[in-house]
Each structure stands twice: as structure tokens, then as C-alpha cells.
Amino acid sequence: MASGFSYSGGPSRCFPFWQEFAKCYAEADYPSQCLLKKEDYVECLHHTQEKTRAKILRYNALKKQQREAAEGKKEADVKATSQPIAVGLIKGTGVPSSPGEAVAP
């Protein structure tokens, strides 16, 4: 740890975590007893877990957008390429039953 002071002169944002880790390390019989305190301090310094979670959330959001866009494209393609089907129940509806058939007036 550098000095324990922030740019504005007060304690740094991670200083409380450092104090907890240093206290644990001084009182512990084995350094492995303080791994959680060390992880908290390192996370405060580097935000590695937070960045990893943000990347996962961003990746999942992009996948969801891509999936929704693909579904929307499929629906749009179906609507654009489909033609109304004339069943023949109403005469003179103006909708041909096949592409080569003429429209009845």
C-alpha cells in the first residue's frame, strides 16, 4: 500500500479493507486464514470481479438482442413473402388464389 491517503487528502477508498487485512494478518496463526480479507482488499483495488460480472451481463444482453432481432427478422420475412390465400368463399374479393390468376372485378 502506498500511503493510505487519497488525492483529496483523506483516507483512500480501500484503506478500511487494508486495515482489516493487516489486522487479520497480524493476529492469524497462518496467512491462509486471511484469504477472504485479502480478496476483499484486492477487489477494492482492481475491481476484477466487478468487471467480470459486467462483461457477463453485457454479453448476455447482446445475445438477447441478437436473438430478438433474429426472431423479428423471421417474422418480417414471413410477413413480407406470404400472400393472402383466397379460399373461394366470397366471390369478387379481388384477391387471386394463385399468382397467375386474374383478379375478378
pLDDT in tens, 18-70: 999 999 999 999 989 999 999 999 999 999 999 999 999 999 999 999 999 98
pTM across the whole model: 0.56
Owner of C-alpha cell 487519497: 6
Q: How far apart are CA 59 and CA 102, in angstroms?
A: 52
- Mean pLDDT to the nearest integer, 68-93: 75
Asked if 50 contacts 44 with a C-beta cutoff of 8 angstroms, the reply is no
pLDDT value of residue 101: 56
Higher-pLDDT residue of 61 and 78 is 61
pLDDT value at residue 59: 97
Residues 84/95, Cβ–Cβ less than 8 Å:
yes
DSSP annotation of 97: S
**Residue 69 one-letter amino acid:** A
Per the rule left: phi > 0, alpha: psi between -120 and 50, beta: everything else, 91 is beta
Question: d(Cα 103, Cα 105) in Å, to the nearest integer?
Answer: 6
**pLDDT value at position 75?**
83
Q: Which pLDDT value is given to residue 1?
A: 47
